[in-house]
Amino acid sequence: MDADDRVLRRVKLSDLRLLQAVAKWGSMARAAATLNISQPAVSKAIKTLEQTLGVPLLDRRPHGIEPTIYGQALLRGGTAVFDELLQSLRQIAFLSDPGSGQLHIGCTEAGAASFVPAVIGRFSRQYPRVVFRVVTGDAATFIQRHLPQREIDIAIGAMPPAAESQDDIHSEVLFEDRYLVVAGARSKWARKRNVALRDLMEEPWVLPPPDTTMGMHIAQAFRAQGLEPPHSRVMSFSVPLCHNLLASGGFLTIFPVMMTRLARHLNLRPLDVQLPDMFRDIGIMTLRGRTLGRSAELFLSCAREMARTLRNTGKSKRKTS
């Protein structure tokens, strides 16, 4: 038996779980209280783990306990171990009952108001006992933090430029979405035809912050027509906030076509205005090499099928050179 085998026989999953708790809370006392065990038991387990590996795993600092470089390496591996084990347990649960399971999904605000609920609705009709935990945010955060830390199984949304340079992220484009100037049904602009973008410059706008990827895309679209982007009355990514402001009839925004097609309950009105073509690739992102449960694979198949339907009923108008 070589040294690696001897170490593996002595390292317990329970000890790795204790190390994770101490690193999370920065205190052995808090970790012990969370796990409902005694502090001496935690201290003894960590000491045994350090003796087994022959390296210090934790540093005691004035503001709390922090993992050493060796502890950080072990924690990264431990996160993967527990995640793979969890996926295996989910796989077993699914095999014993294909209608059950749990999925953790990350999506953008726009996706949460259109494409994602449409996929969940279709999927749930076939697998009604699958439980979803949905986190909203920006796609860049999903690929930089949530997916690598295995906090979500799948991310769905506009593909950020960083996705192509992330070696540990697998990206798959589902469809191409175009953006339009949108108002609420009560807006005076909703009933007008052949509106010039210049005519809307002094209207109150709800737009993403200008220093975000979407904000920069919008600025480029206005400048393509010789206009500076309008000063936003409200800067936010919040779809509920934007919807409520649009419903008052006094605000305008720029939304993806998918929002107006799938979120009909929002009662949005695309304006008859020439906006320079703005397209975003909408796709799914997963952690490369990570084993996904059967329910996640079936959900991805459902998302691909719905995307094909949307592509067939709304062909892209992007110009090709």
* Domain CATH code at residue 198: 3.40.190.290
Residue 85 covered by a domain: no
Do 229 and 264 lie in one domain? The reply is: yes
Looking at residue 29, its amino acid is A
- For 247-267, b/e burial (b = at least 16 CB within 10 A) is beeebbbbbbbbbbbbbeebe
Do 166 and 181 lie in one domain? The reply is: no
Do 225 and 107 lie in one domain? The reply is: no
pTM, two decimal places:
0.66
**Residue 120 and residue 1: Cα distance in Å, rounded?**
50
Q: Which residues pair with 234 in a beta bridge?
A: 206
Residue 321 covered by a domain: no
Do 124 and 203 lie in one domain? The reply is: no
Task: Tell me the chain's radius of gyration from C-alpha atoms.
Answer: 25
Under a CB-based contact definition with an 8 Å cutoff, are residues 104 and 135 in contact?
yes
Do 150 and 299 lie in one domain? The reply is: yes
Under a CB-based contact definition with an 8 Å cutoff, are residues 195 and 272 in contact?
yes
Do 172 and 209 lie in one domain? The reply is: no
Question: Helix 3-10 crosses helix 39-53 at what angle (to 10 degrees)?
Answer: 170
Residue 58 covered by a domain: yes
Query: What pLDDT does residue 2 have?
Result: 55
Residue 93 covered by a domain: no
Do 299 and 163 lie in one domain? The reply is: yes
Do 191 and 269 lie in one domain? The reply is: yes
Total number of domains constituting the chain: 3
Under a CB-based contact definition with an 8 Å cutoff, are residues 111 and 156 in contact?
yes
Do 141 and 255 lie in one domain? The reply is: no
**Residue 124 and residue 206: Cα distance in Å, rounded?**
33
Q: Give the CA distances from residue 223 to residues 200, 219, 228, 276, 309, in Å, rounded to whole numbers and listed in that order.
A: 14, 6, 6, 9, 34
Do 126 and 155 lie in one domain? The reply is: yes
Residue 212 covered by a domain: yes
Q: Which residues pair with 269 in a beta bridge?
A: 183
Query: What pLDDT does residue 233 have?
Result: 93
**CATH code assigned at 70:** 1.10.10.10
Do 196 and 73 lie in one domain? The reply is: no
Do 41 and 11 lie in one domain? The reply is: yes
**Residue 176 and residue 162: Cα distance in Å, rounded?**
18
| Domain range enclosing 263 | 177-279
Query: How does pLDDT run along the chain (321 residues), one tens digit per residue?
Result: 455 666 667 777 788 888 888 888 888 888 888 888 998 888 888 888 888 888 898 988 877 888 899 888 888 888 777 777 777 777 777 655 656 778 999 999 889 988 999 999 999 999 888 899 999 988 889 998 999 988 999 999 988 877 777 888 999 999 999 899 999 988 999 889 989 999 999 999 999 998 887 888 899 989 998 999 988 999 998 888 998 999 888 899 999 888 887 777 778 899 998 887 788 899 999 999 888 888 888 999 999 999 998 877 655 444 433
Residue 320 covered by a domain: no
**CATH code assigned at 296:** 3.40.190.10
Residue 200 covered by a domain: yes
Under a CB-based contact definition with an 8 Å cutoff, are residues 153 and 273 in contact?
no
Residue 94 covered by a domain: no
